Structure 1
Amino acid sequence: MEQRPFVSILIPCCNVEKFIQQCLLSVINQTLKNIEIICINDGSTDGSQQILEKIAKQDSRIRIINKQNTGYGDSMNRGLDAALSEYIGIVEGDDFVTPEMFEMLYQQAKKKDLDICRGAHFNLYGDQAYPEVPSFLPSKRVIDSCQFEKMLKLRPAIWTSIYKKDFLRKNGIRFLGTPGASYQDTSFAIKCWLTAQRVALLPLPLIYYRCDNAASSVKQKDKVYFICEEWREIYTFLFKQKLSSPARLKILFEVQFNNYLWNLKRVAWKYKAQFLIRWFCEAWKFLLKFNISFSQLPTKLRIKILLLLFFPVFYLFLSLFDNDK
């Protein structure tokens, strides 16, 4: 009987012909050999499909799912449904990984029976790579069962981790499949951290995240409200799973606040006021509904909240000079 793959690596692809060969070759050359590679071609109109098919002929571990352009979330859900292995990994079509990435993550995950094992990453600008390791991680050892607050405040970066497939299915964790949407890693990542019981973080950069791809969703300044849909999905999941403790709501409010601040800076000028109005309304609704106590929030965050709620126009201009991540 053929052995079940240890890790299914999902590679969503949409018009990434400039990068997909480097990405796919980095996955093929993993030191962990018992893997399957599932490439989900989301209706690419460039040469991505042809490159995938050419390389797939050279490696039987590669499967290609060709579909119409229904968006990132649907692509990822198709990949999750097709995966045969015990753990799931994700590599974006314009990124690439170190040779030992999945072996290191899988060894830790199996040794400790983890729901999630996460590594750090490099931010890649052209040929220059800069490691990004969470500040609370020491440099020489694995961190187990980190505090919930710290986990939630980590950048979503779903492509730095592997996930136990049974954990995802048990908790009903999937991607929001809104066509044409962006930032659909946000709700997926937070749902994972809300429900994971056994986690570990490796303080080693294992994947190269390309920051200068002009076609990536973060560069599309007209995608204004998709981040709001992600947070609606997060709160729907939170209450459905009965995870809405006051402590968690306070942490989520802070994470959402910083997430929205990032989005406010990112969108085009003509959309900033519109987004600020929606943020203003959502913040008031949240605080009133859940009776969030200001006294238990960080001082800097309390100042930002007060500015947003009572001086929103001033806050719009002030936010442009706020360098917090």
Structure 2
Amino acid sequence: MRLVFAGTPDVAVPTLQELIDSPDHEVVGVITRPDTTAGRGRKVVRSEVGVLADAHGLEVITPRKMGDPEVAEALARWNADLGVVVAYGGLIPQAVLDMLPHGWVNLHFSVLPAWRGAAPVQAAIAAGDEITGASIFALEAGLDTGPVYGTLTERIRATDTSGDLLARLAVSGAGLARAVIDGIAAGELIPVPQDVEGISHAAKITTDDARVRWDLPSHIIDRTVRAHTPAPGAWTTLGDARIKLGPVTPVDGQEIPGDLSTGTLAVTKKAVFVGTASGAVRLSTVQAPGKKSMNAADWARGSHLDGTEQFG
């Protein structure tokens, strides 16, 4: 099949590579988000998908919106059979969906209908789910509502961050995408409507979502931090400073030096503990404003903490 690929970040790269390597299909064009600028020198940064496509000599377009005329023009020029979407980062209007003979399919990182929306992996970790996965479904006007061609499941490990889990799902999802596209090409797959029960939604993550609330139990704080690592990064405040936190470990009373109130720090030679609504957590890494991330005990020593401080 002649394929159009739409995607942007690194989690989309394994699927694009899988399709490029397929002897049975041809990627005839790639759509990705526009280049951005970063750093003090305002260097132009290409998306990870754009970089891979360039390396393979594929034609790439970077429209501001999928409804821009250049998209329709490119699709007509590419004469593709099927569109494949992985974490593109923009909505595809119905007129564009209707342009390809076999429509468009989307790789979504949950077992639909659970966690429809922008941040399914983060939502699954934050909710304490034990199992998640990936789904390939036919795109339609609704948000992640289309019929499903295939799914896979993945156990969420106790220490998984969203980055860890997404990395595994990106790889296994690439294999699922290729298998589904093979099945569509052979005329062997019919998508199945999603179940009307078990629907949940995962809204786009905001910076405020990643703020740690120390008045919650330690296991909830653990999930919150892991769900927002590496992006946007879990954080708290110490005085007027915003402190970024790496994954934390809930600890029982025997490990805690003293009785800690919520948000209060306890510092030992080798560890930093913070009180929560139930028990405490041990910090792993801390990043102060303008500094690099460092071991929590080293941060405490360098900051001359005496154990009376409290996170906000």
- Superposition TM-score, scaled by structure 2 size: 0.31
Rg (Cα) greater in structure: 2
If asked which structure has higher relative contact order (CA below 8 Å, sep 6+), I would say 1
TM-score, with length taken from structure 1: 0.30
Greater helix proportion: 1
